[in-house]
Amino acid sequence: MLDLCKAECLKLKGTKIFFLSVFILIATVFMTFSIYAINPKLSLDRDGWNDYFRSVVILINFLTGYMSYYILTCYIYSREYQENTHIALFTSSVHRSRIYFSKLLVIYIYITGSLLLAFVLSAILGTFITARPLTFEIVMYQLGIFAKMILMHAMLVPIITFLAIRWEKFIYAIVGMCTVMCLNFVLVNIPGNTFYPWTVPLLFSPHGEMGRTFTYVPGGIISICFIFVLGLFLALRSYVRIEK
């Protein structure tokens, strides 16, 4: 499994898609920093570190996280078809389920690393625009939030892997990703919004005035667990049974 994971990482190394995925999240951090540094209505000195981090969290959970993770996911799972290397891959002695999970592990490593990078970069940039100390309590609180974000975004990936495997085309899977994000804009403010699993990372994190004031937590847990199990089942079933 580790050898397969290393092979996937080597395939990603230096690709434009990987750099695009990283750039999207880095741009999110710099955009938040710039807004706080320039806009007089927002002040880290006045509002505090938690409000500053909340702005980063909202942007990632509502929009840019999905863009970064799903672009990379669609590329990893559809690349074999685009480059016509899937026949050699599927006729090897390695079981397809191991290939699937090795690719999924790479994505999970990326989600973990990119969110931790976003947290560290936000903290470093924030020190340039405030004299407020970044205390241990704030760091631990924010790390808890980012840890939950890692888990929730990871649970929403398998269904996207299914779309990429099923459609075999990078562009079609991207269309599915865009549909998911557009529905976020519509459904985040309606009653029962947590039953749409892609609103859960936002609503289960500090989200300010976005979304309804009341968040039905059991509904969010049920929906995100259901979409994780469903996505994993459909993706594995498709990947194992797909024609050579």
- pLDDT tens figures, 85-136: 544 455 555 677 888 888 999 999 999 999 999 999 999 999 999 888 999 9
Angle at 24 between CA 52 and CA 100, to 5 degrees: 115
Task: Answer whether residue 54 shows pLDDT above 90.
Answer: yes
Global confidence as pTM: 0.90
For the record, the structure tokens of 189 come out as 């403010």
Least confident of 28-37, 56-65, 94-103, 139-148: 94-103
Task: Give CA separation, 71 vs 45, 58, 173, 239, in Å.
Answer: 36, 19, 9, 19
Q: Name the DSSP letter for residue 198.
A: G
Is the pLDDT score of 55 beyond 60?
yes
Q: Cα–Cα distance between 80 and 67 in angstroms, integer?
A: 21
| Residue 101 · residue 1 · CB < 8 Å | yes
